[in-house]
Amino acid sequence: MKTLKGYFYRFLGKKSATYLNGWYTFFNKWRLLSVNYVYDAKMYHSHSSMVKKNTWKKKEATIILHYHAIEKAFLHSSLRFRFGIPRIQILLSLIKDLEKEYLTSSQVLIACECLCKYYEIHQKNNIDVSDYFSDDDYGFLRNINQKEEEIVHEQVRELFFKKGLDFKDFASSRRSVRNFSGELVSPETLDKVVEIAKTSPSVCNRQPAKVYCIQNKEKLAEVFRLQGGLQGFTDGISQVLILTCDRSTFYSVGERNQLFIDGGLFLMNLLYALHYYNIGACPAHWAKEKHDDIEIKQLLDLDPAEKVICVVPIGIPKENFKTTLSKRRANTEILHFIN
C-alpha cells in the first residue's frame, strides 16, 4: 500500500496527489458514515417498534407507553372522566391477548393496576364506562394483579427534598416533577447545579454538554409547542433548561452516536444536582425529526454543531403535588449473567 501511495505521489507530483488524496479521504469518510448510518437505520427499522409490534418486547413497550399516559393523567387535580378511551381499548386488547407467561411481568402487572384504578374511579363517581371497559374486564385484570398499589404519589414539598440521605435513598427520592409554583430559580443556584452536573464522565473528557436556560415567555411557548410532550403541565413552568451536545468534539464514524451517551450521562447528573438543590425537574424528550430540530436551533440561535439532547422544565414545585409511580422493572428483568 505504502509503495502504491509512493508511486502515486511520484507519478502525479506532490501537489496534485495531495489534492486528490484530500478528495479521496473526504469521499471515503462520507461513504463510511453513510454505510454506518444506513446500518443504524436498518437496525432501527427492523428492531424498534416503529413498524411492526409483533414480539413480546414490542407489545410490552406499547403497554408501557399507554399505561404511563394513564398514570400521568391521574396527576391532574381534576380528572376528565372517560379520558383516553382508545388507550384503554388498546391496553385491554393487548393484555387479554398475552400468553400466560407474560402476565407476571412487572410492567403488565402495573398496567393492570392503572386500568383497575381507572375503572374504580369511574365506578366511585357513578360514571358508566361499560361501552369500552366491562365488569368482566375489570375482574380479569384484578385477577392478574391482586396486589393493589398507588399509581400516583401525593408529595409534600418540604418532605420531597430531604437532606442528609445516603445515595440509595437520595436516588430513589428523585422523581419527575410536573407541578411548579412559577417561582424562578436564581442564576446563582443554577451555577451551583452545573458545578455538580459537570462532574459527569464524558468520552476522553471531551465534555460536549451545554445548558441553556430559557425564561422568555414567548420562547417557552414555542419550545412547548415544538416539544409536544408536556401538554397539560405547562401552566406553572417559568424556566426550561435545554441540554445540548456539541458535535465538534467527536472525530470518528464510530463516535456518531456518542453525543447521546455523553448527553445522557450529563442529563442524569443534572437531574440529581437539581434535586439536591431542591429544584423540581422533568426531563422531556427531544425525540424529534429534522424540521423540529432545525426550528429549535433557529429559535434559540444555537450553533449548527449542537444537537438538542433534552428539554428540562425546572422550578420550585407547588407545596403539594403529585408524582407518578412509574414502576421500575424487577431486577431479574434487567440483570443477566453471561457464562
Ligand X SMILES: Cc1cc2nc3c(=O)[nH]c(=O)nc-3n(C[C@H](O)[C@H](O)[C@H](O)COP(=O)(O)O)c2cc1C
> Which residues contact ligand X (rule: CB under 6 A)?
68, 72, 175-176, 178, 229-230, 282-285, 310, 323-324, 326
Is the CB of 144 or the CB of 282 nearer to ligand X?
Answer: 282
- Whose Cβ is closer to ligand X: residue 208's or residue 313's? 313
Q: Which is nearer to ligand X, 200 or 324 (CB)?
A: 324
Specify the pairing of strand 280-281 against strand 284-285.
unpaired
Distance from C-alpha of 193 to C-alpha of 270, rounded to nearest angstrom: 7
Cell 385491554 belongs to residue: 92
CB nearer ligand X, residue 223 or residue 284: 284
Rounded to the nearest angstrom, the gap between the alpha carbon of residue 335 and the centroid of all alpha carbons in its chain is: 21
Least distance from ligand X to the Cβ atom of residue 317, Å = 12
Beta carbon of residue 9, minimum distance to ligand X (angstroms, whole number): 50
- Give the Å distances, CA to CA, from 81 to 118, 148, 235: 9, 21, 21
* DSSP 8-state assignment for residue 195: H
State in angstroms the smallest separation of the CB of 283 from ligand X.
Answer: 4
Q: For residues 304 and 235, is the Cβ–Cβ distance under 8 A?
A: no
Q: Between residues 177 and 302, which has the closer beta carbon with respect to ligand X?
A: 177
In the chain, alpha helices (H): 2-12, 14-47, 56-73, 85-97, 106-124, 135-144, 157-160, 167-173, 187-197, 217-227, 258-276, 290-300
Which residue, 249 or 323, has its beta carbon nearer to ligand X?
Answer: 323
Residue 239 contacts residue 335 (beta carbons within 8 Å): no
Tell me the residue number closest to ligand X, measured at CB: 229
Nearest to 151 by CA among 68, 71, 60: 71
Least Å distance, CB 203 to ligand X, is 20
Q: In whole angstroms, how close is the CB of 178 to ligand X at the nearest point?
A: 6
Give the separation between CA 280 and CA 238, rounded to whole angstroms.
12
Nearest approach, Cβ of 158 to ligand X (angstroms)? 19
Q: Which is nearer to ligand X, 283 or 317 (CB)?
A: 283
Q: How far is the CB of 26 from ligand X (least distance, A)?
A: 35
Inter-CA distances, 283 with 62, 176, 271, Å:
20, 7, 8
Residues 6 or more apart whose CB falls under 8 angstroms from that of 165 comprise 173
The angle formed by the CA atoms of residues 233, 236 and 237, to the nearest 5 degrees, is 80
| Nearest to ligand X of 9, 84 (CB atom) | 84
State the minimum distance, in angstroms, from the CB of residue 232 to ligand X.
9
